[in-house]
Amino acid sequence: MIHSEPQPGDIGLTQIPGTAGRLIRIGQWLNGNGFADYQHAFLVLPDGKLLEAEPGGARIRPLDSYADSDVLYVGPPEYSPQHRADVCAAASKYVGVPYSFLDYLAIATHRIHLNVPGLRRYVAATGHMICSQLVDQCYQDAGMHLFDDGRWPGYVTPLALHQLLAD
C-alpha cells in the first residue's frame, strides 16, 4: 500500500544516483525484478528519523535527508499501530550493522540457480546486510513476514519490496 505521508514503520524506496545506482538497477533487472528507479530502501522511524544500510554501516539519519529526492513510501495493508511500533523497535538493534556486498553475489547465484555451498550461511553469519535485507529483517523480527514465499531476507531487493507493496 502506498502512503503519501511517511509514517513510522513505512518503507521508503528511492533512487541512488551515479554508477552505483545504475549497477543496482541492472542487477535487479538481471534478478528478474524489472527495471525501475528504486535502488535503495530504508525504514521510517518515529520523530522524523530513518534507518538505512549503507557501505559505512547502518545508521539513523533525519528523514528530511531525502526531502529533495523522489521517495515512494509503502507498507503492508494490514499494518496496525502495534505492528508499526514493533517494526521500529526491532530496527534499533541494527544500527552500525556493516554493509554486505556479498549479498549481491548471493542474490545473483540464487537467481541463476547456481548452488554455491555455504555462501548463504557465510553471508548470514557475517551479520552484514544490504538496505532491502535490513528492512525485511526488521519486519521479520517484529513477527511480520512480508514475503509469503519463505525467501531469506538476503534475497530481498528494493524492487522486490516495490513489487510486493506498491504494485
For residues 131 and 38, is the Cβ–Cβ distance under 8 A?
no
The CATH number of whichever domain residue 15 belongs to comes to 3.90.1720.10
Residues 6+ apart with CB under 8 A from 16: 24, 39, 40
Query: Would you state the pLDDT for residue 30?
Result: 59
The three cell numbers locating residue 147 = 514475503
Q: Show the domain range for 85.
A: 2-165
Is the pLDDT score of 166 beyond 90? no
For the stretch 10-57, pLDDT in tens is 999 987 666 665 665 566 555 555 556 788 899 999 999 999 998 889
- In total, how many domains does the chain have? 1
pLDDT of residue 3: 80
Confirm if 152 and 132 have CB atoms less than 8 A apart. Answer: no
For residue range 84-137, list pLDDT tens digits in order: 999 999 999 999 998 876 666 676 676 667 777 877 677 676 778 889 999 999
Element at 139 (helix H, strand E) = helix 131-141
Q: Which three cell numbers stand for residue 104?
A: 549481491
At residue 2, the pLDDT reads: 81
